[in-house]
C-alpha cells in the first residue's frame, strides 16, 4: 500500500511540474506578444533583386537595391545591368510609401532607346522585407514585362545612426561641461 502511495505522489509531482512549465510558457508567450512583427525604422535598407531574362540579355540579372525610409515615405535606387560586365550609367530610381508592415515602390529607368516602369511591393518581417514586382520595358517600340523578386534588410538597431535630437542633446551637454 505504501509503495502505491509513493508512485501516486511521484506522478502527481510530475503532473504539477508539467503544469507549472505550461503556465510559464503561456506567460512568456503573452509577454512577447508581437515579437515577429516588424519594426519599420527610418533607415537605409540594402539588398538585391533578381529579375527574369529579357529578350536582349543573356541571363537573369541579380542587382543591388537600396531603399531609404523616412517616416511613411521611401525612395530607392536599383542598379541596372544589361550586359554581364557593365553597369548602366543611370540607375533605376523611384519612390514609395510605407503603410504599417507593407511597402510599395514605383520607379523608372531610361537610357537611349530603352526604358521601363517598375512596381515592387512586399511586407516587412522583423528587420527585412521581401519584394516582388514587375518591370515593363519598352525597347524599339516593343513592350516586354518581366518579373522581379528580392529582399532588403536594415542594419541591427545599435548600428543605426542616432536620432538628431539625441546627438544635439549630447553636444549641448558636452558644451556645458567645457564651460
Closest CA to 79 of 67, 92, 60: 92
Whether residue 21 lies inside any domain: the answer is no
pLDDT at residue 34, as a whole number: 44
pLDDT at 171: 55
Express each pLDDT in 114-150 by its tens digit. 999 999 999 999 999 999 999 999 988 899 999 999 9
Residue 80 resides in a domain: yes
CA 37 to chain centre: 12
Q: Is 174 inside any structural domain?
A: no
pLDDT in tens, 67-103: 999 989 999 999 998 876 678 888 999 999 999 999 9
Spatial distance between the Cα atoms of 65 and 119, rounded to a whole number of angstroms: 13
* The model's pTM: 0.69
Average pLDDT for 146-165: 86
Residue 131: closest CA among 66, 39, 36 = 66
41/137 Cα distance (integer angstroms):
32
Calculate the average pLDDT of the chain.
Answer: 81
Residue ranges making up the domain that contains 135: 43-156
CATH of the domain at 97: 2.40.128.30
Burial of 127 (0-12, 13-18, 19+ CB in 10 A): middle
Total number of domains constituting the chain: 1
pLDDT reported for residue 3: 57
Distance of CA 125 to the CA centre of its chain: 7
Please indicate, yes or no, if residue 24 is contained in any of the structural domains.
no
Amino acid at each position: 500500500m505504501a509503495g502505491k502511495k509513493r508512485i501516486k505522489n511521484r506522478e502527481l509531482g510530475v503532473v504539477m511540474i508539467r503544469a507549472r512549465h505550461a503556465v510559464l510558457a503561456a506567460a512568456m508567450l503573452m509577454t512577447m506578444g508581437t515579437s515577429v512583427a516588424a519594426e519599420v525604422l527610418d533607415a537605409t535598407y540594402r539588398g538585391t533583386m533578381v529579375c527574369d531574362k529579357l529578350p536582349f540579355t543573356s541571363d537573369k540579372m541579380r542587382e543591388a537595391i537600396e531603399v531609404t525610409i523616412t517616416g511613411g515615405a521611401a525612395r530607392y535606387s536599383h542598379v541596372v545591368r544589361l550586359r554581364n560586365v557593365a553597369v548602366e550609367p543611370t540607375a533605376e530610381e523611384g519612390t514609395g510609401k510605407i503603410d504599417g508592415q507593407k511597402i510599395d515602390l514605383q520607379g523608372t529607368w531610361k537610357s537611349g532607346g530603352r526604358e521601363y516602369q517598375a512596381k515592387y511591393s512586399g511586407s516587412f518581417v522583423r528587420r527585412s522585407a521581401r519584394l516582388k514586382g514587375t518591370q515593363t520595358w519598352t525597347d524599339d517600340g516593343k513592350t516586354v514585362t518581366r518579373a522581379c523578386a528580392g529582399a532588403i534588410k536594415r542594419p541591427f538597431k545599435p548600428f543605426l545612426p542616432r536620432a538628431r535630437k539625441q546627438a544635439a542633446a549630447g553636444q549641448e551637454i558636452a558644451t556645458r561641461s567645457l564651460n
